[in-house]
Each structure stands twice: as structure tokens, then as C-alpha cells.
Amino acid sequence: MVRNDNVKIIPLGGVGEVGKNMIAVEYGNEIIIADCGLAFPEDDMLGVDLLIPDISYLRRTKKKIVGYVISHGHEDHIGGLAYILPEINVPIWATPLTRGLIEGKLREAKLLDKTKMHTFEDGDTVQVGGFTVETFLVSHSIPDAVGLAITCGAGTVVYTGDFKFDQTPVDGRVSNFAKMAEIGGKGVLVLLSDCVHVETPGHTPSEQVVTETFRRIFGRAEGRIIIATFASLIARIQQSIDVAEEYGRKVAVVGRSLERNVAIATELGYLRSRPGTLVSLQELGRGDAEKAVLIVTGSQGEPTSVLNRIANKDHRSVKLQEGDTVIVSATPIPGNETAVSRIINNLFVQGAEVIYSAIDRVHVSGHASSDELRLMLNIMKPKYAVPIHGERRHLVMYKKLAVSVGIPPENVVLPENGAVMQFGPERGSIVERTPSNLVFVDGVSVGDVDHVVLRDRQLLSQDGMLLVVLSIDRQTGHLVAGPDFISRGFLYEGEEYRVTEEARELVRRTFQHDGNIPSEWSWAHRKIKNSLGQLVYQRTGRRPMILPVVMEV
């Protein structure tokens, strides 16, 4: 590794947004990557399945990359690996549960045999290229979450991952304060800190709050209980199983990703249940409703999730019954509020009792509130502080908090995705910017869908389409057949004849000429689109996508 006094840090996702977390740390001629997540699309991103980080910078510096180090197993930190590994295939280091969840995803993507995996545990020190990486356990809503201290010749960069300081975690493993104090005592150049919950004063409540709420709900529920949560929220799944066992209920998990994660966590010893508690959906259906619990996907309103299909009455195996209680055990991620509200309303329409975070403590955040963020700053005592994992308002609020504990304002850098930050003994600042565009995953296509495609999809969804088909004589330019019109999602039954007759006459006039035959007919496409667009808007007030098909015969 070439020695110098500066280290570069490049957030490729997770800054100014929630999701697709990915950070590159560059020193000399080597780069190490912390996390590789995904994000879910907003409502107006029609047909888009997922978003992943823009890795343009990594493509240019591919030969420098020595490995990925992963903080924990949530989708916004590991979900991008299956899409990015085909281009950036370097070894991955992760804790046992996180590794198991990654391997499950890579096996499904047929990438596992091509990927080198390594395991580290709480308190370990590993060498990744020229970087020394130390791990420290943190509390989060999934077991085996760690922060990472990445040391190079310029100093130590601490990456907190997602964290909070829960003194009574579900798995009984509290944050490793001794290791954190040791790292802070040796000196920290840069602290990269989770900040998404900075607006909340005090401390984030313990996961045990949710356990107590579940006990109250289970105690009064007369029928089935359906719990919707994230597929990777292992702590919440454990709480659901524990309380179900207290009340003599059997549990079925429904949803492909949920079933896969439960199997992995159980095999690795991170999810515990008594013999006979976990059963298949078919076996659960043969028992009494008051003894049944279903854990399902869909807490964020995902269109293909189990809860969404139940709410829309199109799940083939699960139909809501009188007396059912549905618990939505999550807070909507920004951008998902409308989808979640729609599901909750549909569940109420079907007569279910629905309990969600706005009316009861069925969810607590896995992220540090303001006092915990201050404590992390005081433990690490960094020269520079950089907030990550949050929207712009969270970053700005974190800067105020960091200044309040003694960090000079000029030493708190507020980045954007693609900002190349450089830190050294004298100064820390943004020195350049690399492309940071939205990269869409649409089916098997990665990065092929752009804003033009999305705009076309939005136009089609709003005002529909008008297809104009006609044939012209190649020699004379005269109209031979048509025009015929095909419309979708545009004309109402009562207005179709009137509008198409006017449009037909307008197109015919377009081909009345003085005998001078154009050398090519692209002008006809433009003329038809422009003139029809004006006519249709005047008659209907709508702007459909107009597609002329001109055939020469």
C-alpha cells in the first residue's frame, strides 16, 4: 500500500436517502467497501423492482478493490451484492448470521460458487488487503450487527453501521462498549455515523417494549394473529415466536424470503423455538384459529408481499376471517407511507382488527436517538465526524449535535452520494464528485431502465396511448389504407367515435400534397404526432402517448 497522510471516503449510497448503503474507503492504491445495500422504489417508479448504488467510481478503480466488509444482514446493507458482485467480485467478510443471509441470496442468484466468503466475529481483527479491520458488536434489530474500525496509514475510520444502545436486547448480547472504548482510546480520524433517528430526543426504547405490547395483544386476541414484518428482522421474528409459545400458539412463516431467512437463522442458532412451535401453513390451517400465528412479509406495502395479497383478497392460502388480528410491526420507510396506508385500510374493510405503530408500540426503531449518538461521539472522540444513513435533514441535525459535544463545525462534513471526501492531519473536505445516478433493477435488467423509460411509463399510466396505423404509396406518397386507430387507457366509450373521426380526417389532410414526393417520410411521423396531439388535447384535455406507424407499399 502506497503511504500518504490522506484517506478518501466515498459514499455511493445511503446519504441523503434511506437505503442502498455503500461506502468506499480508499487509501493509496487500495479500496475497501463497507456494505452493499438496496433500496425500494417510490410509487412513481413504475415497473422498477429495486434501486442499487451507482458504482461508476468503482468501475474506474476496480483493480484497487480488496474486499467488502459487511456490518449486518438487512437488505439495505446486503441486498445489492447479488447485482454488483458480477462486476466487482472480491472477497466478502461478515459475521456468521450476516454471512448466512448473504450466502442464501447468492445461492439463489447462482453466484455463491464464484464468491469467496470470510467470517469475523465481535472483537476480531482481520486484515483485508492493507487495511486492518476491527469489529465491535452493536445493538440493532437483527443479531450479529457490528461496527467496523478500518485502519490504514492515514488513521482509523470508524463505520458504525446501524446501531442503538439497547441494554435489554432480545438475544441478550449488549453492545461491546469495551472494544469501542479501546478503539476510541487509540485515536479515531473519521467517524461515519448512522443518523436517521437524530431528530428523536433521548434514547431509543428497548426491543423489550415490543415484547410487552405483543403480550397484551396476544392476551386479548380471540382468533388468528397475523404479524407483518421485514423478512430480515430476526429479532422481531424471535419476539413473535417467544410470545406465541407463552400463549400456546403455533407459528407459520409465509413468504419466500421470510422462510429462507428463518431457516438460515434457525440453522445457525440465532433463532430459537420449542419443538412443534414452527409448523407449515397447511398444518396451521388444520388447527384452531385461536392457536394460530402467521408471520408474513409486507410491512412496507410491497406489491408482491403476502400481506398485500391478503389485503387484496388474492392470496391463495390465507383469507381473513372474523376475529383475526393483524399487527403491522414496522414504521413505513419514507416513500412507502401511501402503500402501507392502503393495505391497512383494505384490512379494516375486511373486518380485521389492525394494530400498527401509530396506535400502539408494535415497533421500535433499531437506530440510535440523539443521546446515543452523542455517546458514540464521546466514546470515539473523532477528529472528523461524517453523518451517513439518513436524509438531508438528518445530516444537518447531526452536525448540530456533533458541534454540541465539541467537534469543530469545520470538522463535520455533510456529504452527498458520489462526494469524494479526503481527510488528513490538517483538513477534511469534499475534493471532487463522482457520478451518482439512480440505478434501477427491472426484472433481470440492471441499469437499463433510465428516466426516459420511467417518464414514458408515467405518461402511459396517466393518459394512455393512441396508436395510428396507415399505409402510403412509396411512389406517389398517396394514402393507400387507413388511418386506423387503436387506443388504450385513453378514450371513453362515448367520445371514441367523435374524436377518431376528426383525427382520421386530420391525418388524411396531412398526406394531401402538390405532387412533390419527399425523399423520406420521417416528417410524416412528426406531423402526425404534433397535429394529433393538439387536436386530442383540445377535444379531451388529455395528452396520450401518440405512436404513428407509417408503412410504405
- Give the catalytic positions in this structure: 194, 367
Residues 65, 33, 417, 163: what is their CA dihedral angle, to the nearest 10 degrees?
Answer: -170
3-state secondary structure of 448: coil
What would the grid cell of residue 296 be?
Answer: 408474513
Say if residues 483 and 508 touch (Cβ distance below 8 Å). Answer: yes
Instruction: Assign 3-class secondary structure to 278-331.
Output: ECCHHHHHCCCHHHEEEEECCCCCCCCCHHHHHHCCCCCCCCCCCCCEEEECCC
The DSSP secondary-structure symbol of 255 reads: S
- HSE at residue 432, side-chain half, CA atoms within 13 A, is 4
Q: Could you give the 3-state DSSP secondary structure of residue 511?
A: coil
- State residue 276 phi and psi, 5-degree precision: 90, -10
**Nearest Cα to Cα of residue 23 among 459, 435, 421, 504:** 421
Q: Which residues, 6 or more positions from 60, have their beta carbon under 8 angstroms from its beta carbon?
A: none
Chain centre distance of CA 382 = 29
| Beta strand ranges found along 179-317 (DSSP E) | 188-194, 225-228, 250-254, 292-296
Closest CA to 144 of 93, 184, 85, 195: 93
The CB-side HSE value for 156 (13 A sphere, CA atoms) comes to 21
- d(CA 354, CA 371) in angstroms, rounded, equals 33
Beta bridge partners of 158: 149, 191
Counting beta carbons within 10 angstroms of the beta carbon of residue 95, is it exposed (0 to 12), middle (13 to 18) or buried (19 or more)?
A: buried
